[in-house]
Amino acid sequence: MKTFDIPLIYKSSIISGIKEKRRVKDKLKKDFSPTVLDFDNIKVLLSRHFGFCYGVENAVEIAYRVLNENEGKNIYLLSEMIHNPEVNADLLSRGVSFLMDTKGNNLIDFERLLPEDIVIVPAFGTTIEIQNKLLERGINTYKYDTTCPFVEKVWNRAGQIGERGYSVIVHGKPDHEETRATFSHSQEKTPTIVIKDMKEAIKLAAYLRMEKSSEEFFNEFAGRYSEGFDPVKDLVRFGVVNQTTMLAIETQDIANFLKEEVIKYRKLTENEVPAYFASTRDTLCYATNDNQDATYALIKEKADLAIVIGGYNSSNTTHLVELLETAMPTYFIKNEEGLISKKMIKHFDIHNKKEISSENFMGNKNKPTIVLTCGASCPDAIVEGVLVKLLSFFKEHEKLEGVFSHI
């Protein structure tokens, strides 16, 4: 297993120790039950899988190495390195500048860039159009490219099925950096369309069945399809790939639904299906799957509430919140500063897209049971900070080492 050189400010000996103990006991990663931290006055159920994934660690290592090796040079990030405010703030404090915001709007004119300037591509990857713009400025985007290998795997899979004559349907958030990049790379090889959820898959199925016109398609999916896309011929043969941070089960449900629609409409036998539908199951990200499977295990626990940590614009973290809030009160915080007191929490409402405060969030139980997890871009140090802050409300923080020794 590859290890990465991550700055100490993001590490936690306690959290790393818990992860290592669980890894040693469960090397095949078949046990998704949480780690139980049982104190006298509070019980914390820590998710089996959480925190920096392979792609994030790779991106963080490269970014800080570039900083250390290029003192005095102009160093730019295309946009946020990952969706975590602490990591991005630290990079900015060290002199890095962002060329664009997360929506792709320019913050700095590319015309200012010089061939000797350094541009780091973030973990989400980037579009071919942006690569070409930078190339015109004499900048090779592959030199400092931190694109997650699992994102590149999706691009490669889309390209492979495109070369075999299939169109590509991308399940992702249309304005997310990764989805924009995947769409760009896919459309170079084959007709491509982006859908964001099952509701849009159901709408798309009407065009598979030729129940609606091309004009209606162009209006309904404006800005989501590649140039020259023809719903009449380009929805005959296709495969489904995803933004790697989406809910894995939702991607699979969408793929299965569209596959069944093709089978019913064309009255296909089992042997005929591959001619119309390309299997792309292997594009689902292992870290997203592990984190989500561990979250399903948390849902089965009898907990009073859940706290999820991460950047408010983090897609994978938001999906963890969505899952947990189906089973218990769930609070989405950036870091320990969200824990104002034992009675007050400042958190993000994912439905209304704003930060709010809630009183008496822990209720009146003498010994609350609290689920704790975080997204794939959240450092272990922040998880430790939240854990210690929680324990401080119950005067239990000094007992952490003792409980840790019994895991």
Alpha helices in 77-164 (DSSP H): 85-93, 128-136, 149-163
Residues 6+ apart with CB under 8 A from 201: 171, 195, 254, 257, 258
| CB-based contact 325:308 (threshold 8 Å) | no
CA distance linking residue 109 with residue 99, whole number of Å:
8
CA distance linking residue 154 with residue 224, whole number of Å:
18
CA distance linking residue 172 with residue 319, whole number of Å:
12
Instruction: Pick the catalytic residue from 80, 86, 177, 178.
Output: 178
| DSSP-assigned letter for residue 173 | -
Q: Is 178 a catalytic residue?
A: yes
What are 18-25's contacts with CB under 8 Å, separation 24+? Answer: 18/46, 18/404, 18/407, 19/51, 19/380, 21/407, 22/48, 22/407
SS3 375: coil
Q: In whole angstroms, how far apart are CA 270 and each of 252, 277, 294? A: 19, 11, 34
| DSSP-assigned letter for residue 3 | -
CA–chain centroid gap for 259, Å, is 25
For residue 347 the two structure tokens come to 């958190």
Alpha helices in 137-241 (DSSP H): 149-163, 177-187, 198-208, 214-220, 231-234
CA–chain centroid gap for 300, Å, is 23
CA distance linking residue 198 with residue 261, whole number of Å:
13
Which sequence positions are flagged as catalytic?
178
